[in-house]
Structure 1
């Protein structure tokens, strides 16, 4: 029995010479029987033999005279690599064999024969593949630690454990096949180099990443679907595209002018047809009366006021005022159509008007500073619209005098060219000169308390006298002039936008709050000191003071204010 390491290596070398001759003989063709190139059995035989020779060199690397054994192992292992294309790289093997050959040569030069290297053992974590002598899910091997994940019945099954040195290299290079989904990883760099916890962490990370990606995709998909739904027509207001009764080539403006000028009443059904073809696009505002939407008719933008059913009186009154003959004016919001749409359970009241992207004067002043030209244009255009409302036009197609009764910066819109137009006529009153009567709407709605005149707050207004309503409008217009002038830059200074009486009453003042400030204390908005050094602002301050006088009879009329502003613009060579 061999007990000495050197004797073992001598014996192994002797047998390997004989095995080498046998394998070489088998590898040669013998008539019709020989190992064909690529034959699976011959490849595995040569590969196994090459590995066997390599292991002998590795174990007996201190034994002299093993050059032939090393080269034989190298030759057959490389031969098997070339044929199978699936085993250990020949370049890697060359490096490993040359390294051991160098060690042999070094020992040969130094004349020392070191004993065989001690066998290296590795501790591995085992799971579903633990040997009987394992402790605490650990095992010990002279080969590799492995971790394998394979699919069984649609479920991923994790297995880990130890592989012995013999044959482990081939097992670790098993890549599975298309029928059996399997992944195998081996390691030898350190103890417990493949811990199942790491796999779990990796699996968790991959799962979280995939779930996050799917969730993100779902959110993006829902967002774009929602936006597409929002941009699509929100309500179907009537006809199909092929059911239009509008003559081709006509613009919305042409149709409105035709309906206003015919005088026969035939224009109203036409406008109702337009109303049924409006497509709602985006909500742009909301108030106590309802909502405001931006809509489209044949590509043209329009504004659609959708009234709450509780505000039917306001819708009816505003529609009636807009349909008054000779009502159209460049500084009064252009009316397009009105319609009622509903079923037995709900009703929607539509009022379609021109669309102005700058929004209200209130919104415009909050984000825009003005120079003298812009200030005068806003003021002049606003009072021009108010003057047209207040003025009665006599004739067979005459226009009655109209008072607004809810004048404020939120009810004045700013056009693209910087001019203003008066809007929201739901509280307007008409004066019928033939009967000398004031046509007051049957409406429980009241105006905005912050802009109410003193006579309205203390209930001293003569409701049967139409001029009282006109003068109440002029008080409100004086406050609007103050809002505009504060945003005019002079000497590089401008005040931030504020509502009138912002420093005296809360954001939503009550009647009592306003009555105490306006009627009892007779407080009016204050002027910044810089106005006294700017001629234009000084005149604006004088003008608004005469508009908000406590005595209604002392206030300027809209026509007087219009002429004064025109003169101011002319003196500064400003065209308004």
Structure 2
């Protein structure tokens, strides 16, 4: 009996051992567990091992958890006719990705022990339809771009509008020049006419008498090499420049005198103004290197300089005196003359100089004069019978001011008033020229008008007292009465000095009288 029981034990024990071993073999996925007593847990077949990290806030360390996820917690979904397993426990919403992270694995055993979950970068989540599977998300870089792009576009648009407005304002005067004209090519350069002279270019382009095209002006200005100073005034300095072997005069205005520069360039380019006895205008340009701006006015160069300089160093004959006087009167007469336009060609308005003096008249190599410095000139608008007053604060030279200008009785709305003031100043210039005429070896030392009555830089009050109150005029030497031409010159200048402006000669009458004297002198020869 005992032997039979032992046989049964020998049979049952191995069976129990086999069953026990069988259960061990059938055990599912083992995972590392942070909350389990033995440090592991059984996820079973089809389960997952999970590692998660969560921010705790404040100064507390981030919490890392290890656990199991059994198959029962993994819902089964059917999508596109296929069975798909997925679980929310292994996913983090877009909003919380920067606060927690979960990683799941399905093998081998303890596969989650070495997983290192990290946070996703901060994102902005724009909620849409809760039932929608796709949500619009923006990262930090995308958010910056989204905000910066509109601001940048608005700024660029504002800058474009600002510079466009600034350019339009300058273009109203016709002189807005680009900072870099090196890439702009000229038609005559492209055609290989590198030997073109300024005279040829003026003849080619001066059909309207208003100067060169602006592109030509800019290109010439960029090619000029400035040399020595040849003059200096209150509103700029004049230099001798070189362009293709030719001398030119470069008058440089500081940026604060932009209005004067605009005005003078504008007057010089008046239609049909070009005349042999008015200084030849070549170009206007501005030079800007980012720290300072120079405003250039480029004209013909005359090495004899101004009439003031010429008379200081030169004694003239009677024919030379008449040549200087007649040519100067021709220039002033053309300036004052109005040319009526047609339907095809624009006319020339009448222009008054307003700052006529010997320093603003240049002497050419052939002994004739040309009138310069038109920065204060005014134009007559015949359509409205109005005067185009220069938009600057400049005033003429006090020594040459007419009585009505000195006592401020001049009618500023009547254009003839300005022409009559020019005639008064021209009479003083004739006096300066005639004093330097040699007759029988006798000649007076050069002096400015009223040199014996006012100081070198007289004030308005001093000039007003001498000219308006005391009614003084420059003295006529006795020797002038001994020669017919000098006697006529003396009478001519007196008729320019009348206190009553309406009684003064016109420039056309002055021109004809001087031409008559010159013809008589030529007949004597």
How does the TM-score come out when normalised to structure 2? 0.62
How big is the shift at 1:257? Answer: 2.9
1:375–1:485 Cα contact (<8 Å) kept: yes
2:399 aligned counterpart, secondary structure: helix
**In structure 1, what is the equivalent of residue 326 of structure 2?**
380
How big is the shift at 1:532? Answer: 1.1
How big is the shift at 1:397? Answer: 1.9
Q: Does 1:527 align with 2:476?
A: yes
1:573 aligned counterpart, secondary structure: helix
1:394 aligned counterpart, secondary structure: coil
**In structure 2, what is the equivalent of residue 442 of structure 1?**
391
2:212–2:282 Cα contact (<8 Å) kept: no
Q: Does 1:359 align with 2:305?
A: yes
**In structure 1, what is the equivalent of residue 504 of structure 2?**
555
How big is the shift at 1:272? Answer: 1.5
Moved over 4 A (4+): 237-245, 262-266
1:406 aligned counterpart, secondary structure: coil
1:539 aligned counterpart, secondary structure: helix
Partner deviation per Cα, 1:124-143 (whole Å, 9 max, x = no partner):
xxxxxxxxxxxxxxxxxxxx
1:572 aligned counterpart, secondary structure: helix
2:239–2:249 Cα contact (<8 Å) kept: yes
1:457–1:511 Cα contact (<8 Å) kept: yes
Q: How far apart are the structure 2 equivalents of 1:418 and 1:264?
A: 26
Q: How far apart are the structure 2 equivalents of 1:512 and 1:575?
A: 47
Q: How far apart are the structure 1 equivalents of 2:478 and 2:398?
A: 28
Q: How far apart are the structure 1 equivalents of 2:210 and 2:416?
A: 32
Q: How far apart are the structure 1 equivalents of 2:227 and 2:524?
A: 37
**In structure 1, what is the equivalent of residue 359 of structure 2?**
410
Q: How far apart are the structure 2 equivalents of 1:448 and 1:496?
A: 22
Q: How far apart are the structure 2 equivalents of 1:511 and 1:264?
A: 36
Partner deviation per Cα, 1:456-498 (whole Å, 9 max, x = no partner):
0000000000000000000000000000000001121100000
**In structure 1, what is the equivalent of residue 264 of structure 2?**
318
1:295–1:301 Cα contact (<8 Å) kept: yes
Partner deviation per Cα, 1:524-548 (whole Å, 9 max, x = no partner):
0001111111111111000000001
Q: How far apart are the structure 2 equivalents of 1:390 and 1:297?
A: 32
Q: How far apart are the structure 2 equivalents of 1:515 and 1:382?
A: 27
Q: How far apart are the structure 2 equivalents of 1:332 and 1:263?
A: 12
2:263–2:375 Cα contact (<8 Å) kept: yes
**In structure 1, what is the equivalent of residue 137 of structure 2?**
none
1:373 aligned counterpart, secondary structure: helix
1:456 aligned counterpart, secondary structure: helix
Change in Cα spacing, 1:574 to 1:409, as seen in structure 2 (3 Å) is: farther
How big is the shift at 1:256? Answer: 2.4
2:522 aligned counterpart, secondary structure: coil
Q: How far apart are the structure 2 equivalents of 1:263 and 1:417?
A: 23
Change in Cα spacing, 1:494 to 1:314, as seen in structure 2 (3 Å) is: same
2:210–2:268 Cα contact (<8 Å) kept: no
How big is the shift at 1:564? Answer: 0.3
Q: Does 1:459 align with 2:402?
A: no
Change in Cα spacing, 1:257 to 1:305, as seen in structure 2 (3 Å) is: same
**In structure 2, what is the equivalent of residue 495 of structure 1?**
444
Partner deviation per Cα, 1:215-264 (whole Å, 9 max, x = no partner):
xxxxxxxxxxxxxxxxxxxxxx9667996664323211222233322689
Q: Does 1:474 align with 2:423?
A: yes
2:209–2:273 Cα contact (<8 Å) kept: no
2:367 aligned counterpart, secondary structure: coil
2:347 aligned counterpart, secondary structure: coil
Q: How far apart are the structure 2 equivalents of 1:355 and 1:264?
A: 19
Partner deviation per Cα, 1:80-107 (whole Å, 9 max, x = no partner):
xxxxxxxxxxxxxxxxxxxxxxxxxxxx
Q: Does 1:334 align with 2:284?
A: no
**Counterpart among 197, 201, 209 of residue 255 in structure 1:** 201
Q: How far apart are the structure 1 equivalents of 2:240 and 2:522?
A: 37
Q: How far apart are the structure 2 equivalents of 1:430 and 1:563?
A: 24
Change in Cα spacing, 1:368 to 1:315, as seen in structure 2 (3 Å) is: same
Gaps of 5+ in 1: 1-236
Q: How far apart are the structure 1 equivalents of 2:429 and 2:499?
A: 16
Change in Cα spacing, 1:246 to 1:452, as seen in structure 2 (3 Å) is: same
Equivalent residue runs for 1:23-422 within 5 Å:
246-247=188-189, 248=193, 249-261=195-207, 267-395=213-341, 396-422=345-371
2:186–2:216 Cα contact (<8 Å) kept: no
Cα RMSD, aligned residues only = 2.1
How big is the shift at 1:310? Answer: 2.1
Q: How far apart are the structure 2 equivalents of 1:556 and 1:438?
A: 21
1:341 aligned counterpart, secondary structure: strand
Q: How far apart are the structure 2 equivalents of 1:265 and 1:427?
A: 19
Gaps of 5+ in 2: 1-178
Q: How far apart are the structure 2 equivalents of 1:264 and 1:339?
A: 16
How big is the shift at 1:277? Answer: 1.0
Q: Which has the higher contact order (CA 8 A, sep 6+)?
A: 2
Q: How far apart are the structure 2 equivalents of 1:290 and 1:463?
A: 27
Q: How far apart are the structure 2 equivalents of 1:435 and 1:541?
A: 38
Larger % of helix: which?
Answer: 1
**In structure 2, what is the equivalent of residue 107 of structure 1?**
none
2:181–2:218 Cα contact (<8 Å) kept: no
